[in-house]
Amino acid sequence: MEKRRKILELEIEVMRQEGRKVPSLSSIKPDQWEHLLTLASRNQRRHYYMYLWNIEVVRQSQKIKKERKQEEIAKRREELMKATAENDHIVYGLFHNTMFLRIYDSTVDHFHNNRLIQAMQFGINLVIDCSYDEYMNDKEMRNTAKQLMLCFAQNRAHPEPFNIHHCNADYSKTTMKQLEKHLVQIHQPEFPFNITERSYLDLFPKERLVYLTPHCKNDLTEFNPDDIYIIGAMVDKSSQEAVSLGKAKKLGLRMARLPLDNYFQFKSGKSLTLDQMVMIMLELKGSNDFGKALQFVPRRKIITMDEETEREKQRQEANKFKFNFKRSGDKWNSSKKWR
């Protein structure tokens, strides 16, 4: 492994001298080295080098912006302090006296966490199935971890959050490693985050479980608070296989899909991100209104009324052209026969 890593370091240096976009060796982290060592072809490594280079550029840009902002704040504070020293009166405002009590971010976090604890005691259960790592590549697993973090944040900020259970977690895979990296308090007993290596079949009665999969034929007609809905934690950009459908059938679970076709006409795929699914389920839990809940479907995937009108005009024009072309063809054939 050490010998192969030195070869890769030499490869990066050669590519840098050729003017290619590769990251600096000091910016590559141990888990990224582990992934690099598993890539067999040069083309795969080249794409991953580009991905790491983009991350490094973004971090450098953010660092520069942060330093500039700190300099501006320090300069402004110095100017305000100087102006205050020359003024004998009490000054109200930022960096000065105020009649308002400052609410810190930690206070807001405690408030939201307390609401999640109440949901864990009295709220409706929702399951996120984290057993799809073997069907995703490294980039998709990292994306899944980001979406799980968004799910946690959006659920926590909701007035009536779900009691979300992350089941079938595998801490040796990239998804859980990334989640542990960004949510460092994930294993603390007082932190309101349910995560377990156990299956949802071990936690809940089988007859109450409903697997939400876009590949089944049964539409979800209403939200039933007695049912426990399962969302598969999978980002399937590279493959569109019906993995969740096969898993639900194998386990003998009830299945349902969102009635998207009843409300929208799609330009492309109907796949939704995990955070969008959680927001839809939160709205359904509160209102049981699909019209309101499906507002979280991205507009870029939907054909709007204006686009549908334009398409209808184009179809009518195309039909007119076909009709005129057919008539002119018939006249030409009849004149040919008359001769």
Same domain for 142 and 233: yes
Instruction: Write the pLDDT tens digit of every residue in 236-293.
Output: 765 667 888 999 999 999 999 999 888 877 776 678 899 999 999 999 999 999 889 8
Please indicate, yes or no, whether residues 153 and 222 belong to a single structural domain of this protein.
yes
pLDDT for 79 beyond 50:
yes
Q: Domain check: are 205 and 295 in the same one?
A: yes
- Tokens at 266, concatenated: 């799609």
Do 112 and 74 sit in the same domain of this protein?
no
Q: Is residue 94 part of a domain?
A: no
Domain membership flag for residue 35: yes
Give Cα 239 distance to the centre of its chain: 17
Q: What is the CATH number of the domain that holds 161?
A: 3.40.1280.30
Q: Residue 115 falls within a domain, yes or no?
A: yes
Sign of CA dihedral 5, 10, 11, 16: positive
Flag whether pLDDT at 338 surpasses 60: no
User: Is 302:268 a contact under the CB 8 Å cutoff?
Assistant: no
Q: Which ranges of the chain would DSSP assign to H, the alpha helix? A: 2-17, 30-38, 42-85, 105-122, 138-157, 174-182, 200-203, 243-251, 274-287, 290-293, 305-338
Q: Structural domain of residue 245, as residue ranges? A: 107-301
* 256 and 132 housed in the same domain: yes
Instruction: Clarify whether residues 248 and 146 are in a common domain.
Output: yes
Which of helix, strand or coil describes residue 47? helix
pLDDT in tens, 172-215: 888 999 998 888 888 888 899 999 999 999 999 999 999 999 88
Q: What is the pLDDT of residues 298-333, one digit of tens each?
A: 887 777 655 556 666 666 666 665 555 455 555 545
Cβ–Cβ < 8 Å for 137, 215: no
Residue 332 belongs to some domain of the structure: no
If asked whether residues 169 and 67 sit together in one domain, one would say no
Residue 8 lies in a domain: yes
Range in 10-14, 85-89, 251-255 the model is least confident about: 85-89
- Of 175, 179, 164, nearest to 131 (Cα)? 175
Q: Does the residue 89 lie in any domain? A: no
Residue 281, CA distances (Å) to 47, 205, 262, 293, 296 in order: 36, 20, 17, 7, 10
Q: Does 111 lie in the same domain as 30? A: no
Radius of gyration of the chain (CA): 28
Q: Indicate the SS3 state at residue 231.
A: strand
> Is the pTM of the predicted complex or chain greater than 0.85?
no
Residue identified by tokens 């709220």 is 123
Same domain? 152 vs 292:
yes
Do 140 and 54 lie in one domain? The reply is no
pLDDT confidence of residue 332: 46
Residue 329 in any domain: the answer is no
Provide the CB-side half-sphere exposure for 240 (13 A, CA): 7
pLDDT tens readout for residues 91-127:
777 666 777 788 888 899 899 999 999 999 999 999 9
69 and 193 housed in the same domain: no
223 found inside a domain:
yes
Q: Do 189 and 257 share a structural domain?
A: yes
> Total structural domains in the chain?
2
User: How many CB atoms neighbour CB 85 within 10 A?
Assistant: 8
